[in-house]
Amino acid sequence: MQNEPWQISAEIEVTIPFHDVDMMAVAWHGHYFRYIELARCALLDLIDYNYPQMEASGYLWPIIDTRMKYLAPLRFGQRVRVRATLTEYQNRLKIDYLLSDAASGTRTSKGYSIQVAVSKASGEMCLASPQVLLDKLGVSQ
């Protein structure tokens, strides 16, 4: 299946640090959200619409839903590839994530996050993505 022109991905690598693991040397499940946040920011940098640019454009983009499915544990010292892919943009930002062992390519977890635009001035949620996002993605409404 061919990706849409706006369907972009960013990939980062993370080495699981000692302070993220438990006594069994396995990364605590909550830290995975920090790893995907790093990949999400790398993705948003690609379209020049990371959190400072979002706020400057008059919109805040809180996360309203997120999910992570754990397939295999991440361990201390492991190099992990984290890929973030924008999969929806029209009424929300949906970003899918895939975490895999950098050496073997084995998938370790997958998930997604959903964000919506909120007017900074009024605090109201927007029912459609603002024009500034569409412009950054090079799509017309």
Task: Identify whether 78 is part of a domain.
Answer: yes
Mean pLDDT confidence for 22-48: 97
Per the structure, the count of domains in the chain is 1
* pLDDT given at position 1: 41
Task: Identify whether 109 is part of a domain.
Answer: yes
Q: Which domain holds residue 79?
A: 7-135
% of the chain with per-residue pLDDT over 70: 95
pLDDT per residue as tens digits for the range 75-128: 999 999 999 999 999 999 999 999 999 999 999 999 999 999 999 999 999 999
Task: Identify whether 105 is part of a domain.
Answer: yes
CA angle 79, 83, 87 (to 5 degrees): 165
118: β partners: 60, 125
**122 and 109 Cβ atoms separated by less than 8 Å:** no
Task: Identify whether 122 is part of a domain.
Answer: yes
Mean pLDDT confidence for 41-62: 97
**12 and 42 Cβ atoms separated by less than 8 Å:** yes
Task: Identify whether 59 is part of a domain.
Answer: yes
CATH code, domain carrying 75: 3.10.129.10
Q: Are strands 107-115 and 63-70 parallel, antiparallel or unpaired?
A: antiparallel
Task: In whole angstroms, give the CA distance from residue 92 to residue 63.
Answer: 10
* pLDDT given at position 7: 81
Task: Identify whether 141 is part of a domain.
Answer: no
* pLDDT given at position 9: 97
Task: Identify whether 50 is part of a domain.
Answer: yes
pLDDT band at 55 (very low <50, low <70, confident <90, very high): very high
Q: Over 70: is that where the pLDDT of 3 sits?
A: no
Task: In whole angstroms, give the CA distance from residue 85 to residue 42.
Answer: 10
Task: Identify whether 20 is part of a domain.
Answer: yes
Q: Over 90: is that where the pLDDT of 6 sits?
A: no
